[in-house]
Amino acid sequence: MNAFADSVPVSVLAPTGRVRLADVRRRALLTAQLRVLVIGLIFFALTVAALFRIAWLGLVEPPPQARSMADALLPPRGEITDRNGVPLARAFPAYALWFNPEAMDDGGTPLVRPAEEVAAELNAIFPDLDKAWLTRRLTSGKSGYLRRRVLPEEANRVYAIGELALELPSETDRQYPQGAMAAHVLGYVDENGKGQVGMESALNDRLIDPARRGDPVALSVDARVQGALEDELRRGMLSVDAVGAAGIVLDVDTGEVLALASLPGFDPNKIDAQGQSNMFNRVTNQVYELGSTFKPLTVAAAIDAGTITDLSRRYLALPFPIGGFTIKDSHPLGSSLNTPEMLIHSSNVVTARIVDDLSAARLKKTMADLGMNERPYIELPARGFPIWASGDWPRLRAMTVGYGHGIAVTPLHLASAYAAMVNGGIWRPATLMKVEPGQANRGRRVFKTSTSARMNQLLRMIVVYGTGRKAEAPGFRIGGKTGSAEKPGAGGYKRTSLVSTFAAAFPMDRPRYVVIAMLDEPKGTAASSYQRTAAWNAAPIVGRLVPRIGPLLGVFPDEGRDIDLTDLKPLVGDTGGSGE
């Protein structure tokens, strides 16, 4: 007991091996548990982190920008082509030349070498940049574009100059390979990437839609026909010193516009102040009194209504007063004329008498059916509203409308109306989008087929025997009507400024295309034998244009073929006439 009693304090003071062992074991256990806890915590933290990352990836982070090849090749703005796939407007990656004075970032001068030297080197690459201007820009210390368009080969040469301050940011560029051609049809893209004026504006949403911009948009325009139309119009306009010209080629069966030109034009590749002033579209936006070109429409309305049944019937052709106004012709045409003679000599008096028989209401209805009372149907944003008298037309108004005065429409209105008159009587809206075969608009019937056939003969007669003889092109069977209207000005019509128009169709034995050529304020020059009327300036344009575009459009000249005029020939003498 004693020994036991003695042993207790001993054991307290100095633990025996067994007790020490238990202590070590407990401590080791504690350490192990602690380690397990730490490892468990690490694993838990990792799991939480992983789960959090998964959740973050799934819920918060935007998906990675997958740049596939298709995306890289998708143009930033869709391509516009003509009906045969010739590109008219396309976007392609290009460079700009930007001056960044902070590029060196060392507090010194922006350029390594003197500004004059760099300017001289840039001038060697871009001869159109002025050396003095470049030097001023490079020493000004202000950042900005030195040039908006740089080709890749030029970009390489700019890099070779070795100036960090000359930066070449890549930009998408809208390029119009045909330059100023068809500018009014295409329009342009402004600095904000928004289409303006033409189809760039009309098709803006379609052209930037990522789902559809990969496919080019085919217009109804044929680049070759457009080029020929602009070429001939420009030549005609310059030769008679006109202030402007307009022209259109329209497919009579589908309403497709194959060419549409308004001169002077602009270059969509380079929009400047002068270009801005020429953006006005004379074909779809400007309304004109188109004068005698309305006479065939009046005659067609009268034949259709049955008030002209006998083309040999003679009307009095002497001037007559009505409502304080005298209806007269530009020069006396004899005492009486029949309908074919009226068209050949272009008599206002006889047209007025035909309108009198027809009645104002029926003429107005025909004109409305031909779309003359509303804006023209075309995709372009610029469409002019006609000057159209509402309400019942008085007798005088109807008579003047009969020969194209007192009503002002766009040349496109006239083209659509002529298409309806020659194609068998169906009026269709004009379109600038390519129409697949069989997909043409059904249109509405305005004239009977028989009326249309008769009008084709009469239009051909005007070119064979009448005022349109300068439009004759052998073998192309052109038919058409001249119109020279005085422009209205302050205090009545201005006798010296005319709008001369030639509205034509070809080939008349089976009309396929309507061609309108219009000159604004032509002067009498040597080229037009010092005449200002359409017979001398607008008709020759059509006569030169049709042989150029006919074979391209599948109309081949054939001198052994023509519309049959034998039943009408006896009604007119051999001698043609002159008139407006």
What does the binding site for another protein look like in residue numbers (CB under 8 A)? Answer: 68-69, 72-73, 86-87, 90, 92-93, 151-152, 175, 177-181, 223-224, 226-228, 230-231, 474-476, 544, 547-548, 550-551, 556-561
Indicate the Cα dihedral angle 560, 562, 565, 569, nearest 10°.
-60
Instruction: State the nearest-atom distance from the C-beta of 388 to another protein, in Å.
Output: 37
Contact 182, 223 (CB under 8 A): yes
325 phi, psi to nearest 5 deg: -140, 140
Q: Which is nearer to another protein, 206 or 224 (CB)?
A: 224
In sequence order, the 6+-apart residues with CB closer than 8 A to the CB of 532 are: 240, 484, 498, 500, 522, 523, 524
Q: Give the pair of three-digit tokens for residue 372.
A: 């003359």
Instruction: State the nearest-atom distance from the C-beta of 558 to another protein, in Å.
Output: 5
DSSP 473-508: -TTS--EEEEEEEEEEETTEEEEEEEEEEEEEEE-T
Instruction: State the nearest-atom distance from the C-beta of 149 to another protein, in Å.
Output: 12
Strands (E) located in 252-307: 257-263
User: Residue 449 is inside which H or E element, if any?
Assistant: helix 449-465
Indicate the Cα dihedral angle 95, 99, 104, 109, nearest 10°.
150
Instruction: State the nearest-atom distance from the C-beta of 278 to another protein, in Å.
Output: 16
Element counts in the chain: helices (H) and strands (E): 19, 19
DSSP 378-395: -SSS--PPPB---SPPPH
Q: Give the pair of three-digit tokens for residue 140.
A: 């000004």
Residue 25 DSSP code: H
Closest by CA position to 500, among listed 299, 343, 289, 297 = 289
Instruction: State the nearest-atom distance from the C-beta of 177 to another protein, in Å.
Output: 4
Instruction: State the nearest-atom distance from the C-beta of 209 to another protein, in Å.
Output: 20
Q: Which is nearer to another protein, 195 or 265 (CB)?
A: 265
CA angle 341, 520, 196 (to 5 degrees): 130
54 phi, psi to nearest 5 deg: -60, -45
Instruction: State the nearest-atom distance from the C-beta of 73 to another protein, in Å.
Output: 6
Q: Is residue 312 flagged as an active site residue?
A: no
Closest by CA position to 513, among listed 172, 267, 277, 258 = 258
529 phi, psi to nearest 5 deg: 55, 35
Instruction: State the nearest-atom distance from the C-beta of 180 to another protein, in Å.
Output: 7
In whole angstroms, give the CA distance from residue 78 to residue 95: 19
In whole angstroms, give the CA distance from residue 369 to residue 262: 26
* Beta-bridge partners for 489: 492
In whole angstroms, give the CA distance from residue 193 to residue 209: 13
The catalytic position among 220, 292, 528, 578 is: 292
In whole angstroms, give the CA distance from residue 95 to residue 82: 27
Amino acid at 569: K
Residue 365 DSSP SS3: helix
Instruction: State the nearest-atom distance from the C-beta of 13 to another protein, in Å.
Output: 47
Q: Which is nearer to another protein, 181 or 197 (CB)?
A: 181
In whole angstroms, give the CA distance from residue 129 to residue 121: 11
Q: Which is nearer to another protein, 181 or 308 (CB)?
A: 181
Q: Which residues are the active-site residues?
A: 292
